[in-house]
Structure 1
Amino acid sequence: MTDLVRMTGIDKRFPGVHALKNVSFDLAAGEVHALMGENGAGKSTLMKILSGIYPRDGGEILVNGREAELDGPRAAQDLGIGIIHQELSLMNDLTVAQNIFIGREPRLRFGRLDETALNAQAVEIFKSMNLKLAPKTVVGDLTIARQQMVEIAKALSYRSRVLIMDEPTAALNDAEIAELFTIIRRLKADGVGIIYISHKMDELKQIADRVTVMRDGAYVGTVGAAETPVSSIISMMVGREVTNEAAEIPDLSQADTLLEVRGLNRGREIRDVSFSVRKGEILGFAGLMGAGRTEVARAIFGADPRDSGEIRVHGKPCAISQPSDAVKAGIGYLSEDRKHFGLATGMDVRTNIALASLDRFSGSFGVLKEEDMRRTAQDYIGKLDIRTPSDRQEVRLLSGGNQQKVVIAKWLYRDCDILIFDEPTRGIDVGAKSEIHKLLKNLAKEGRAVIVISSELPEVMRLSHRIAVMCEGRLTGILPGGEQTSQEDIMHLATLRAPSMQPEGYQQ
């Protein structure tokens, strides 16, 4: 294979941080080269250097065998390097074609936009991808998966021969992932080199040719994807063996019921959902995208209004019409979108941990007790092993796993008895994921009621004492956790449009 990219001895420093230390990486034409590592390993920094976003402090970059000076994103684009970020950068009110060629639109006389040529050029790109997509479609009307295809088309419009994909499947379901992988294989066949960043280990065997692992800003090694066990790649990433023990199923028949939901309804999103969670229990919620799991959590927390239904906390009816009511009742909700709904990313760790309990830190004339906030933050930084230089570090600068721990600390200090975790490990590397799993199990052992919503069936099965399965807004069944339930059992209920009989001896 011909080298499209060769990076050697790459070094990068930020104030107080040696982000990259003598890192090497190469990409051949027509291959998918996965770049793996825990959050904070340096993957994104390396790719930002390759895409011209950051300048390098040392090392050499060759593109198509020639030394490249990547002094900005446009220089990288001119060399055929395109990057597709995890957070899409499309403009929802513009059409597909307008998004692809924004700032480079074909023009008629007097500067008028040539819509016909614009749409024709977009169609040509779609043909090369074997993608059926109308160029006049407004981007905001597309699914996330289709928007991802538009981002790929936009990168290809620059005649990109190198595509960097950062967590491209994070928000996709299985069918959409299969469609994306078909596009990737077609690009490979055309000689495009793809750098693939993902935390989903099961994807490596399906799509990658080689895997390069980074740890703590340094190069660890490169291995073949087909012949290397996933366990070996994980060990390279974390520098230790990661175990994923199945959930121990305790006898909770005599435990108090902390949360009970009866007949919850909200339009077509939630239809007559009832369940309960006991003290010390982890109740997992499984289902396909759009099944209504997040909608149930938001209705319980008061983030969305409900049409009908009763919520009981500690056996008593609880009037919850807004999140503050839920917080007062001892319910904490960790949203699947932690950056928008769980954190104030521009604020420091100390403030974020205190956010749900500012009333406890208010002194005379509303002045915050900074020393109390500092002690509290230091306490939870130690308890949860939050890796941060100090409690004054801005949360946006922390890795995904440590950001999630900050959100958990916020609700633990609030002393919530009922904790709802929506996609708790999305976008988190395998090492941090193991730590979050251990933390959730410990919260249950402490006597809290824990609800975990996850799109990853192995995660739900590994964590849950019971598994509630939803389909099209309905709760179609509750299964036992652990080894008593298979993925096939869950998928059967996840595609069942009417509620089924509950397993004998199991209660809602």
Structure 2
Amino acid sequence: MTIVFDGISKSFGGTRALDGIDLRVEAGTIHALVGENGAGKSTCLGVLAGRVTPDSGTVTVAERPHPFGSPRQAARAGVAAIYQELSVVPTLTALENVFLGQERRRASVFEDRRRMREQYRALCARLDVAIAPAQPVAELSIGDQQMIEIMRALVGTPTAILLDEPTAALGPRERSVLYRVVRELKADGVTIIFVSHNLDEVLDLADHATVFRDGRISESRPTAEWTKADLTRAMVGHSLSPAIRTEQRNTRPRELLAVENLTVGSKIQNLSLSLAEGEVVGIAGLVGSGRTTLLRALAGDTPPASGSMRLHGDPRRWPRSVREARRAGIALLTEDRKRSGLFAEATSSDNLLISNLGAVSRLGVVSGSRSVAASRSAATAVRLSEQRLSSPVGVLSGGNQQKVLLARAVHFQPKVFLADEPNRGVDVGAKAEIAASLRGMAAQGSAILVVSSEFEDLYELCDRVLVMWRGTLVAELIGPEITIDAMVSKVFGPGGAVR
């Protein structure tokens, strides 16, 4: 169905998120929305999905007026949405999440449950996933939770699907499956609108790309008329220098952290690694390889782990809680900033200062002047605008929320900083700023351990890359050995390949 936005505008407080958006999305096409964080892309999707009520303008879907402010009515109009910030219910099972909000179609609860199980199995087969229907979603990885979201969108028979950064939490295999499904949906006549910061993905998948900039449409053309450089220039207003891997920067002068024989249930077995002061080490691996479990174990945020740990050569008891790990100087940037990273209603300043209130207190009382100075200093270090410090962090774009978490780490000054998907849902400009922030922390003597599904990010940032497969380390790449091809060839394990 054809979707037409006519003069859509929306403000949040003093921020103009959308400013007179006129956009036509043709039926049965794949249309990409790109732009920097805060450019208005997700707000535009929110209007169509019923999450955001515009201040002015209209939307028509298949030549009919589209309802505002009601996700349920939008769904009834054939619009299904998959959001960047996951909307799964952790306490429900996978099956219950997939069919959440679906009306019962049978008089018998037994018949309804049987139908759901059959459809669930069919969706798993289509998406090539193996998630037990009775498994609580809270126990799933972020990648698997994202697949649950996608399955939920496919439950009905939507005529339009909205995807907000659908691949940000997915590994290579899951991405290839999603690309296939999106193309199949297009072939069936479904209209697809997706937001992505992966410009290669946009050029490969979309029929048309529209660039948002400061709440307005900068340019809109068929993807055949775009290049990656053109898209970047339209997004930021100027050309960016191509990313080039620098030579290995760390010569490992002094070991900071050593881990031996780490075991976490069946997820990690006898894993050993070491990090040096000033070193940035990447972890490459597929979703489910144990990457996040490793970081959470180091941060004291996982069921009991066994193994030994040394910091600066001194043996330490394995941290049994996040607080204990932080006392040892180990901090985690979580991959799920919405649920376990940020306090949405609190200001950005409060969110970053909470990591080390002692640094801004005097005799146990938080000092206003110290708080202002410390929050400004941390914000400057991660290139976060000071104007964002007084805003509730929940209203910021994904990229700016990520910068708040990085500023929190800068304020805390950890010895070991664990960054899980630090570039998730951020634009090309913010990626460069986040990379610079991580390198800046390393330059101050911290050891940085980074998990990313974007092998290009690891290639550009890291001194070493460790490759994980099924809970074990299967390769170490150092300096010139770090290439995208090398990482791809290792992450599928011995003799592995993309299915």
TM-score (structure 2 length as normaliser): 0.87
Partner of 2:493: 496
Cα offsets for 1:444-501 (capped at 9, x unmatched): 23333221111211111111111111111112221113x4333332234323369xxx
Contact 1:37–1:237 (8 Å) recurs in 2: yes
1:44 matched to 2:42? yes
Q: Distance in 2 between matches of 1:258 and 1:297?
A: 16
Superposed CA deviations along residues 377-431 of structure 1, whole A, max 9, x for unmatched, are 1222233221353533211122222222222222222222322211111121222
The 3 A distance-change label for structure 1 pair 433 and 115 is same
CA distance in 1, matches of 2:53, 2:396: 21
Q: Distance in 2 between matches of 1:345 and 1:398?
A: 9
The answer for the alignment partner of 1:116 in structure 2 is 111
| Alpha-carbon displacement from aligned partner over 1:171-199 (angstroms, at most 9, x marks no partner) | 32322222222222222122211111122
Q: Which amino acid is 1:488 matched to? A: D
1:346 aligns with 2:345: yes
Q: Offset at 1:43?
A: 1.1
- What secondary structure is seen at the aligned counterpart in 2 of 1:294? helix
> For residue 245 of structure 2, what is the aligned residue in structure 1?
246
Matched with 2:473 is 475
- Closer/same/farther in 2, CA of residues 272 and 120 from structure 1, 3 Å limit: closer
User: 1:24, 1:129 → 2: CA distance?
Assistant: 38
Q: Which amino acid aligns with 2:248?
A: I
Cα distance in 2 for residues equivalent to 1:118 and 1:305: 33
The 3 A distance-change label for structure 1 pair 368 and 332 is same
In 1, Cα distance between equivalents of 2:192 and 2:267: 38
- Letter in structure 2 aligned against 1:286: A
User: Post-superposition shift, 1:137?
Assistant: 4.2
The Cα of 1:347 is off from its aligned counterpart by 1.4
Match of 1:211 in 2: 209
Residue 161 of structure 2 aligns with which residue? 163
Aligned partner of 2:111: which letter? T
Task: Select 2:484's aligned residue among 484, 487, 504.
Answer: 487
Residue of structure 2 in register with 1:502 after alignment: none
Q: Is the 8 A contact 2:31 2:193 kept in 1?
A: yes
Residue number among 440, 452, 455 corresponding to 1:454 in the alignment: 452
* Structure 1 contact 331–418 (Cα < 8 Å) conserved: yes
- Whether contact under 8 Å (2:421, 2:452) holds in the other structure is yes
- Tell me, in whole angstroms, the C-alpha distance in 2 between the residues paired with 1:338 and 1:101: 23
Aligned partner of 1:224 in structure 2 is: 222
Q: Work out whether residues 129 and 183 of structure 1, in 8 Å CA contact, stay in contact via their aligned partners in 2.
A: no
Aligned CA distance change for structure 1 residues 79 and 414 (closer, same or farther; 3 Å)? closer
State the one-letter code of the partner of 1:325: E
Structure 2 CA distance, aligned partners of 1:68 and 1:305?
A: 47
Partner of residue 390, structure 2: 392
Q: State the partner residue of 1:501.
A: none
Asked whether the equivalents of residues 468 and 475 of structure 1 are also in contact (C-alpha less than 8 Å), the reply is yes
Cα distance, 1:145 vs structure 2: 5.7
* 1:314-463 alignment runs, 5 A limit: 314-321=312-319, 322-364=321-363, 366-387=364-385, 389-463=387-461
SS in structure 2 of the partner of residue 440 of structure 1: helix
- Alpha-carbon shift at residue 361 of structure 1 (Å): 3.5
Give the fraction of aligned pairs with identical amino acids, expressed as a percent: 32
Q: Name structure 2 gaps, 5 residues minimum.
A: none
Q: Which residue of 2 aligns with 1:150?
A: 151
Q: 1:335 to 1:390 in 2, by over 3 A?
A: closer
Q: What is residue 503 of structure 1 aligned with on the other side?
A: none
**Matches of 2:266 and 2:95, distance apart in 1:** 30
Letter in 2 for 1:153: L
How far apart, CA to CA, are the structure 1 residues paired with 2:120 and 2:355? 49
| Helix, strand or coil at the partner of 1:252 | coil
Contact 2:35–2:212 under 8 Å retained in 1: yes
Contact 1:349 1:393 in 2 (8 A): yes
Match of 1:72 among 70, 73, 82: 70
Bigger CA drift: 39-48 or 227-236? 227-236
Measure the CA separation in 1 of the matches of 2:11 and 2:165: 24
Structure 1 outlier segments of 4+, above 6 Å: 121-130
Please state whether the residue corresponding to 2:432 is helix, strand or coil. Answer: helix
Q: Would you say the 8 A contact 2:333–2:405 is kept in 1?
A: yes
Secondary structure of 2:394 counterpart? helix
1:270 aligned partner: 268
**2:398 partner letter:** G
Q: Could you tell me which residue of structure 1 aligns to residue 53 of structure 2? A: 55
* Conserved 8 A contact 1:264-1:306: no
Inter-partner Cα distance in structure 1 for 2:219 and 2:380: 32
| Structure 1 position 6 matched with structure 2 position 1 | no
- The gaps in structure 1 that reach 5 residues or longer are 499-508
Larger deviation, residues 124-133 vs 29-38: 124-133
Q: Does the CA contact (< 8 Å) of 2:39 and 2:216 recur in 1?
A: yes
Aligned-partner Cα distance in 1 for 2:429–2:378: 20
How big is the shift at 1:5? 1.0
Distance change in 2, residues 1:303/1:18 (3 Å): same
Distance 1:266 1:70, change over 3 A: closer
Distance 1:139 1:82, change over 3 A: farther
1:226 alignment partner, SS class: helix
Displacement of 1:30 after TM fit? 1.2
Q: Does 1:309 align with 2:310?
A: no
Of 13, 16, 24, 2:14 maps to 16
| Inter-partner Cα distance in structure 2 for 1:418 and 1:411 | 10
Maintained 8 Å contact 2:259/2:307: yes
SS at match of 1:223: strand
Structure 1 contact 33–210 (Cα < 8 Å) conserved: yes
User: Which of these two proteins has the greater Rg computed from alpha carbons?
Assistant: 1
Preserved contact between residue 472 and residue 497 of structure 1 (Cα < 8 Å): no
Alpha carbons 1:292, 1:473 under 8 Å: kept? yes
Tell me, in whole angstroms, the C-alpha distance in 2 between the residues paired with 1:82 and 1:289: 25
Letter paired with 1:360: A
